[in-house]
Structure 1
């Protein structure tokens, strides 16, 4: 006798949690995520369909394969994964489980998902993140990003949290988690998503009307940090030029 899994027909999509690395396309026009384990070489968008990473033609998830998206039931379990060294710069995702799924004791393996919220951890210095900056690695055509405060950008390719949400689209919310600088100023306040693509790393020419004070302050802090960096580079070049003239 062939055993069948019990069928569930929920009235609303189940919710789960997972971690992933945020990524930015090479041309800076798209944003998404890449997994931390199986299938991590294939970046995905806010709404995405799973496929078999082994190239098999069956639909994911398959009972006799481990393909498909994966998530856990409890937020605390997913947060615990962020403690490992290789996952410190990943973000916490809250997802809706769509399509076919297989329920396990600790989570789901499923065919389709929608990322609802991405919670960004603190900068490596401990300050609340204001942006996502180049992490120094990536996938073909994609830059991996890591949380960064305005003071640690140092000219790296980056996007503000609000800009990342706009580039990703589909109503994604990007929230800054608490850091050591959470009480230092409004730049550490969570950011809310908005629609429409924005220029990577810079505030859009026409900011959406639904941005509030925390979002605008975060954008201003990011712009000010870049201005400070450019001024420091100009001062360094000016000193070098002055030295050359003196020795001539």
Structure 2
């Protein structure tokens, strides 16, 4: 006798929470995410469909496999994962669980998802984040990003939260730990302040480089 799991038919997609690393494509035209564990080698977009990470041909999530997107029910439980050393640079995602899913005590394993919001924490130095900057690692064709304050951006590849929203598309909302930012349709006061701080940080870095070149003097 084969036991079957009870089937659910919710009127609205279930909501879940997970952590991930924000990513920027090599050409700077697309933004997405990559997981922190099993599926970390496969960057995905705001709207994503799971594939078996083992290369098997079955559809995810398969009952006899670990494939599929993963998330937890409780936001606080996902936030707790950000306390661990290896996940300090990750961001918190709120997702809509789409398609077939398997419910567990603590969360879901599922076929498709829509990332609704991304919450960015503080810079590694403890300062307030004004940008997402190159984290120093990545995947083929993708650069990983992490929160950075105005003083830590310097000359690294970086973009503001509002620009990440626009590149990711599909209605994604990006929030910083201190409060929400508006949609890509228009920049509010908080986004303009962040953009100004980012530009000022870049200007300070360029001025420092120019000063060093002037100290060396013209080459013969």
Query: TM-score, length-normalised on structure 2?
Result: 0.97
Shift of 1:192: 2.4
Partners of 2:46 and 2:108 lie apart in 1 by 18
- Correspondence for 1:191: 181
Q: 1:227 aligns with which of 190, 198, 203?
A: 203
Query: TM-score, length-normalised on structure 1?
Result: 0.86
Q: 1:213 aligns with which of 186, 189, 198?
A: 189
Shift of 1:161: 0.7
- Correspondence for 2:43: 43
1:102-181 to 2 correspondences below 5 Å: 102-178=102-178
Deviations, residues 121-167 of structure 1 (Å, cap 9, x unaligned):
10011111111111111000100111101111110011111111110
- Correspondence for 1:186: none
Partners of 1:9 and 1:122 lie apart in 2 by 39
Shift of 1:35: 0.3
Give the secondary-structure state (helix, strand or coil) at the position aligned to 2:77: helix
CA-atom RMSD in angstroms: 1.3
Unaligned runs of 5+ in 2: none
Partners of 1:62 and 1:153 lie apart in 2 by 42
Shift of 1:241: 1.1
Partners of 2:174 and 2:4 lie apart in 1 by 39
- Correspondence for 2:212: 236
Structure with more strand by fraction:
2
Runs of 4+ in structure 1 deviating by more than 3 angstroms, as ranges, are none
- Correspondence for 1:68: 68
Unaligned runs of 5+ in 1: 179-188, 195-207
Deviations, residues 21-79 of structure 1 (Å, cap 9, x unaligned):
00100110100000000110000000000011111111100111110000000011001
Shift of 1:191: 2.2
Partners of 1:101 and 1:132 lie apart in 2 by 32
Partners of 1:141 and 1:20 lie apart in 2 by 17
- Correspondence for 1:182: none
Shift of 1:220: 1.2
Aligned length: 220
- Correspondence for 2:32: 32
Shift of 1:193: 3.1
Partners of 1:26 and 1:123 lie apart in 2 by 23
In the alignment, is the contact (CA less than 8 A) between 1:190 and 1:215 conserved in 2?
Answer: no
- Correspondence for 1:16: 16
